[in-house]
Amino acid sequence: MRLCGCGLVLLCGPAWAVEIDGTIAPGEWDTATAIDDFRMVQPLTGAPASQPTRAWVMATPDGLAVAFRNTQPPEVPRTRQKVRRDFDEQVDRVNVFVDFDGDGRTGYAFTVSSTGGIADEIITNESQFSSDWDGLWRHAVAEDESGWSAELLIPWHTAPMRDGSDGERTLKLYLARVVGSTGERMAWPEASFERSRFLSDFAPLTVTQYSQSLLAVTPYVSGLYDNVGGDSQGNAGMDLFWKPNGRIQLSATVNPDFGQVESDDLVVNFSATETFVSDKRPFFTENQGIFEYTTPSDFSQLLYTRRVGGPADDGGGASDITAALKLNGSLGAAKYGLFSADEAGEAGRSFHALRLVRDFSTQNLGMMMTRVERPFLDREASVLGVDHDWRPSARWNVRSRVFGSRVEQDGARTSDLGATVWADYEMDRGWRQQWIAMHFGNELEINDAGYLSRNSTNYLHWQVSRRFTDLPDTSRYASTDWRWRVSSNHNNRGQKLNDQFRMSREGRLRDGSYEYAQINVNSAGISDLLLRGNGIVRLPANFNAYYEYERPRKGRWAHDVEAELFGGGLAGNDRLGGSLWYGATYFVSDAFSLNAGAILIQRPDWLIWQGADNGDLVGAFDGKEAKLLAGLDWTIDPRQELRVKLQAIGIDANARHAWRFDPAGNAIAATDTVEDFSVRNLAFQIRYRYELAPLSYLYVVYGRGGFDRSTIADGVDEALVDSFDLRDDEQLMVKLSYRFEL
């Protein structure tokens, strides 16, 4: 084998099959490439690894095989906590990150804890992680007095891959190990997601080219009993996955059942901005990375798959999906993705997307189109976007997006454009700079298929940051990261939304804890969303300050705290509100834990629009909100888990003022009656899951919940307690799915 820089340019020698049992047997990995130059990346010092770590990588006909040997002396405590799939707890673990095409577009992350728990994620946009995807791969761990070992086998059918040349392919690789008791991360190569570039900094690895074909069919049956309505229903459908060769991958679903085996978090939203909810449905998360097209605006994307099967256009509840299809592949150096989904019924919609990307060494160029047909609304919406990622040097990373929309409805047509530029510059001694510019036109509309929190935006910001990693041994902190930002935001009509100065500090403590603090100082400006098109609201200057602290498990306890102090509304900083969160987890054993937490929020000048019938009428409320979360996690054995999740919200709002607004946005006291109100919301779920075989599950889920809003405000404590009486829905669902590989 031959080494070149931090990359493995050639991996040669015969490819032997390995036994994935966690034990690195003598001679088993002799023909593999050995890697022991692990460097500290958390804290990001680049120093040699604090604990001896060695890895082996080998291409086999069955997949990419990776092994780790992690030395861990007795003075470094081991974490023995059992974790569920896609865990985020801070425990001893190893990571294998693979970019199969080596173009910096999409990476796949595979994580194994020292107790055998696993997580898998997709990485896009350099450092954007999504844990919604579940892959099929093998793993095993073993432990002894001097440390622990892990072995992984990642099949070649995990993702579509471009063809190599001369019987070889070049992928990119990143290996990491985390020590749970300290939070230290050591990795090869010396790349970090704390930098602006992560995915494109992986080390190149040339391996023998193998190709695997796979045909998998996953039928399901489910039954649901509604204890409120007294009726029951059954359902059946099928998912199909076909990879005929290395270049092409097809997935399809017929009559999918998207019952709530994973419950979403409760949110009560009175704002004009839609709440973003990630997608956990298997078909929509399978190799979705090719369709990544985002902008710096929070959560924005051209294809937001929660639209499919979302609320129907006729207001009749969630839509049923007839079928959906996704095709990913490559043609030479270009990659493509096709997506199509159809909903049932007269109000059903049709969703379509096309994605093309091409890598040019230091640049990536892509194009994406979406189209949605909504016959019930006589509406057709199309979006076309071009994206360009440029890495002119090791210090610079520049991402550009230009996209436009065209909407035809009831014979009328509207169209507009959006464009963003995001530039990061890595300097010496931990200094960095960042520039972001965004323009979204007044008529830009991508939300038929995508997600954009608001259009009509012209935004600029400049940020300078410095990371401190050379702290003395006596410091509580292993590293700190300071950031200073100035920004200006106007709508596309020339009105200033606000200017802002932000200062933040992120700290990683030597005991593995995490700390974050931030303060924003906002200028006076206007809100053009609050009145939903009925005018603007002029708002005074305000500020907000936020603090967060997370302490990982020590003994039987883990804790986290969040606190915020903020101004806002028409009162600005004259009436300050705040919130306080405390959460704790108690570990009865390594496999069984109980968690509980509560947040209290006070909004002394909470502005809420009073609805379309009232035009520009806004109520100013003294609002109080309490939210309770509780649950348990029990890993019964490697195949069985039981989860209980409770969320309850109580809101009490007392009306203080009624306001209307003149054309300039100035508040005018109104004589209209604005009523007090209270809100109660409940979600409770008990979920048992048994893994029959890889990606084959039996679910038994009991759920209960409800929502109520009334004009009686008896106090936030009463609203929270009364939420436990809600019973709008009470269901028992059983679902069985089994994956057959043909």
Q: Which of 474 and 283 is assigned the larger pLDDT?
A: 474
Q: Which of 541 and 333 is assigned the larger pLDDT?
A: 541
CATH class of 2-212: mainly beta
**87: three-class secondary structure by DSSP:** coil
Query: Is pLDDT above 60 for 655?
Result: yes
| 321 Cβ contact partners less than 8 Å away, ≥ 6 residues apart | 253, 255, 256, 258, 308, 309, 341, 342, 343, 344
Is 96 in contact with 76 (CB distance < 8 Å)?
A: no
Cα separation, 278 vs 299, whole angstroms: 9
Fold of the 529-742 domain: Maltoporin; Chain A (2.40.170)
Q: Which of 189, 37, 170, 12 minimizes the C-alpha distance to 1? A: 12
**283: three-class secondary structure by DSSP:** helix
Q: Which of 342, 316, 333, 280 minimizes the C-alpha distance to 134? A: 280
Query: Is pLDDT above 60 for 395?
Result: yes
Query: Is pLDDT above 90 for 130?
Result: no
Percentage of the chain lying above the pLDDT 90 cut: 83
Query: Is pLDDT above 80 for 634?
Result: yes
The arithmetic mean of pLDDT across residues 455-476, rounded, is 96
Query: Is pLDDT above 70 for 202?
Result: yes
Query: Is pLDDT above 90 for 178?
Result: yes
pLDDT tens figures, 316-365: 888 889 999 999 998 888 899 999 999 999 999 999 999 999 988 888 89
β-pairing verdict for 118-124 and 412-426: unpaired
Question: Where are the domains positioned within the chain?
Answer: 2-212, 213-258+274-401, 529-742
The arithmetic mean of pLDDT across residues 311-315, rounded, is 92
Query: Is pLDDT above 90 for 166?
Result: no
Q: What's the confidence (pLDDT) of residue 331?
A: 87
Average pLDDT, the chain: 93
When pLDDT is cut at 50, 70 and 90, the band that residue 261 belongs to is: low
Give me the DSSP letters along 516-574: EEEEEEE--EEESSTTTTS--EEE--EEEEEEEEEEEEETTEEEEEEEEEEEETTTEEE
Q: What's the confidence (pLDDT) of residue 338?
A: 96
Cα separation, 512 vs 514, whole angstroms: 7
Is 668 in contact with 661 (CB distance < 8 Å)?
A: yes
| 293 Cβ contact partners less than 8 Å away, ≥ 6 residues apart | 301, 302, 303, 355, 366, 368, 385, 387, 401, 403
Of 10-24, 239-253, 427-441, 568-582, where does mean pLDDT reach its minimum?
Answer: 10-24
Q: Which pair of structure tokens corresponds to residue 392? A: 């002119």
Cα separation, 155 vs 110, whole angstroms: 12
Cα separation, 378 vs 383, whole angstroms: 17
Is 126 in contact with 200 (CB distance < 8 Å)?
A: yes
| 543 Cβ contact partners less than 8 Å away, ≥ 6 residues apart | 519, 520, 521, 522, 566, 567, 573
| 424 Cβ contact partners less than 8 Å away, ≥ 6 residues apart | 196, 197, 396, 397, 398, 432, 433, 434
Q: Which pair of structure tokens corresponds to residue 599? A: 């947040």
Whether the predicted model's global pTM rises above the 0.75 cut: yes
Is 469 in contact with 392 (CB distance < 8 Å)?
A: no
β-strand partners of 449: none
Cα separation, 429 vs 44, whole angstroms: 11
